[in-house]
Amino acid sequence: MRVAVFSTFSYDQEFLDQYNTGHELLYFPQPLTSQNVILTKGFEALCLFVNDKADREVLVALKANGVRLILLRCAGFNNVDVEAAAEMGIKILRVPAYSPEAVAEHAIAMILTLNRKTHKAYNRIREGNFSLEKLMGFNLHGCKVGLIGTGNIGKAFYKIMKGFGCEILAYDPFPDQVLTQQGLIYGSLEDVLRDAEIVSLHCPLLPETSHMINRETLKLFRRGAMLINTSRGGLIATADVIAALKSGRLGYLGLDVYEQESELFFHDLSGDVLQDDLIARLISFPNVLITSHQGFFTREAMQQIAETTFSNADAFILGSVLHNEVKP
């Protein structure tokens, strides 16, 4: 099958080439948009990532160009209009789970960094500054952690935080019976936000979760609480979070995702003037840590993404059951 792979970097090409099961892959470094959809002419399938945009306008053009399949090399599918794709007869297949531990471990790396300020200590020591002033952290042992979303990544996060000796309270509209039997306590979203010293978001971006962290819900947070988002930027109303950081309501913020990330993340913009004033303000806070959507980025996850992407493509060609299909 001829597959146009968008948003490709060297690491994508390395793993896709290694695990290719015989497809003809053409790599495009740029993300798919309505402006460059012409590039898809003559391809039966596309392989897309988190910031490729397949909205209705793009999907209409894809259908006209003969595209029949979108292989998402990610779990989230908020960047694809699934209903429009169904109308166009374009199948969407995704990688529902790839090393959930990779993302959970990254969330914990952010918690540890923000708390114990190892990034600041690293820079200080390199400049011969061995002072401990302003580096004080807190014990994770006994700390109250709020877990929003207890799917694959939330479960992995729960196991690790339990190992640290944290007290965990979770919110998920579909509580997990196995976790409940293991002792996890569920509460309402409001209870979790009120109780926790650290809140970590592990739910998908849906119309009902869009801006779930906003001016109103931030009022529920404990003063000085830590918020970690490794899920999707749109879960957070960024301007409201900036106000909460300024007032001290939020004491720490760790973001691996950002609502306007498609203009920024994955690119080297070090020679450019930053046009996004919200992220510029976020970067200026001493208690904010931002990473560029790298939660998934481990060797194990890249291998699983490539393997599942090709098994999805093969199932489509063979007319087998499409286990990883995204339907409206």
Q: By the criterion CB under 6 A, which residues form the site for ligand NAD?
A: 75-76, 97, 100, 103, 148-154, 171-174, 202-205, 208-209, 230-232, 256-257, 293, 295-296
Helix (H, G, I), strand (E, B) or coil at 148: strand
91 or 106: CB nearest ligand NAD: 106
Closest CB to ligand NAD among residues 58, 302: 302
Which one of 261, 300, 307, 325 is the catalytic residue?
261
| Nearer Cβ to ligand NAD (58/156) | 156
Query: SS3 letters for the chain?
Result: CEEEECCCCHHHHHHHHHHCCCCEEEECCCCCCCCCHHHHCCCCEEEECCCCCECHHHHHHHHHCCCCEEEECCCCCCCECHHHHHHHCCEEECCCCCCHHHHHHHHHHHHHHHHHCHHHHHHHHHCCCCCCCCCCCCCCCCCEEEEECCCHHHHHHHHHHHHHCCEEEEECCCCCHHHHHCCCEECCHHHHHHHCCEEEECCCCCCCCCCCECHHHHCCCCCCEEEEECCCHHHECHHHHHHHHHHCCEEEEEECCCCCHHHCCCCCCCCCCCCCHHHHHHHHCCCEEECCCCCCCCHHHHHHHHHHHHHHHHHHHHCCCCCCECCC
- Cβ proximity to ligand NAD: between 31 and 100 the closer is 100
> Distance between CA atoms of 162 and 18, rounded to whole angstroms?
37
Place of tokens 């640290």: 164
Q: By C-beta, is 208 or 272 nearer to ligand NAD? A: 208
Q: Which is nearer to ligand NAD, 23 or 106 (CB)?
A: 106
For the CB of residue 246, give the shortest distance to ligand NAD in the complex, in Å.
Answer: 26
216 as an active site residue: the answer is no
**Nearest residue relative to ligand NAD (C-beta):** 151
Query: Please, what is the minimum distance in Å from the beta carbon of residue 198 to ligand NAD?
Result: 16
Q: CB of 301: closest distance to ligand NAD in angstroms?
A: 8
Rounded least distance, CB 80 to ligand NAD, Å: 13
Q: Least separation, in Å, of the C-beta of 120 and ligand NAD?
A: 23
Residue with tokens 């080439």: 17
Q: Is 2 a catalytic residue?
A: no
Q: How far apart are CA 88 and CA 68, in angstroms?
A: 9
Min dist CB 224 to ligand NAD, Å, is 23
Q: Which is nearer to ligand NAD, 233 or 251 (CB)?
A: 233
Return the H-helix or E-strand segment holding 254. Answer: strand 250-255
Q: Which of 73, 94, 222, 232 is catalytic?
A: 232
Task: Give the shortest CB-283-to-ligand NAD separation in angstroms.
Answer: 19
Catalytic residue ranges? 232, 261
